[in-house]
Copies of this chain bind each other. A is one copy, B any other.
Amino acid sequence: MIGFTGNTLDRADGLRHDPEAFAAAAGDWRARLLKLDGLLPEVSDDGRLAWTTLADLPDDAQLILLGLDEGRPHFAAYLPGFRPSTAPAMRSPALMTMLASLAPGEAAIYAAARSLIDWHARHGFCANCGTATAVIRAGWARQCPNCAAEHFPRVDPVVIMIAEHDGRALLGRGKNWPAGRYSALAGFLEPGESIEEAVAREIHEEAGVHVNDVRYVASQPWPFPSSLMMACVATAADDAITLDTNELEDAIWVPRDTVRAVLAGEPGPFLAPPPYAIAHTLLMEWAKG
């Protein structure tokens, strides 16, 4: 299972467009509320998310319908005024431990909730006219009372990829990464480009390597704060590296056998990415040959 995929809830899109049905779901005595401490989940010993009832929510809480499980409504709550930390989530050892312990599918529910709460917290005003907006559509949009513009949660597409050349994979390390960590290169896709074009542009920008073929491998949601990671393998025309030192601290070519050994837990020239990151999935796929 790819990290953050496998959400078993029915998103129940119809309920979002039906205020009466939504109110009924919020009034359902079986309704469950995801327990969060800020943006951190509570995780049980068997890797399950913790849930509670809606009973103790403050009056101004905004409900987000995560979905239904056999008809039972599951919610997250956004509390107006909540300010998420701007520190990179990836630097929180507590969060990393929780993510590693979550059962498949549970991390996916958490990802949707986290991305939406973070989005509400940083998008309370209308980008079109500056007026404070209101939550609509069961927490899946906001609307401006002044200009009527609707705003939907962002999902930012990101390409993450390895270039391959002569049986070796190009891995890079960012500035201030933990010692020994190397991973696939990555970057935001921009307006006016395809996935394949973004992959080629990023590899060239960051490492100076030209690629001439790009194959899509897999995708995952990445809730820090709300990306769609699209993993690809590209064939490099040659292996000369010209680092963009604003982006990368180092880049190396790693032979397939070495990647395979590191993923199997053996020591090597780099530390493997965590299993919930799609870089792990991507390297596993590539290592198969």
Contacts and interface: CB of A to CB of B under 8 A. Distances in A.
A139 to B, nearest CB: 11
A110 B130 CA distance: 29
A155 B191 contact: yes
Nearest to A111: B192
A228 to B, nearest CB: 5
Interface residues of A, number: 57
Nearest to A109: B192
B4 A112 contact: no
Tell which of A2, A7, A216 has the most Cβ of chain B within 10 Å.
Answer: A216
Interface stretch (A47-55, A119-127, A164-172, A175-183): A119-127
B7 A193 contact: yes
Contacts of A193: 5, 7, 108, 112, 221
A153 interface: yes
B195 A7 contact: no
B4 A188 contact: no
Interface string A1-39: 010110100010100010000000000000000000000
Contact of A155 (B108, B157, B223): B157
Nearest to A214: B219
A253 interface: no
B131 A191 contact: no
A228 B119 CA distance: 20
A228 B7 contact: no
Contacts of A201: 11
B125 A155 contact: no
B230 A192 contact: no
A125 B122 contact: no
A151 interface: yes
Contacts of A109: 192
A196 interface: yes
Nearest to A108: B192
A30 to B, nearest CB: 22
Given A130-B132, A197-B7, A115 B191 contact: yes
A4 B192 contact: yes
Given A125-B127, A127-B127, A130-B132, A194 B219 contact: yes
22 contacts: A4-B192, A5-B193, A7-B197, A11-B201, A17-B246, A111-B191, A115-B191, A115-B192, A124-B127, A125-B125, A125-B127, A125-B129, A126-B127, A126-B130, A127-B151, A154-B154, A154-B156, A155-B190, A192-B223, A193-B221, A195-B219, A216-B219
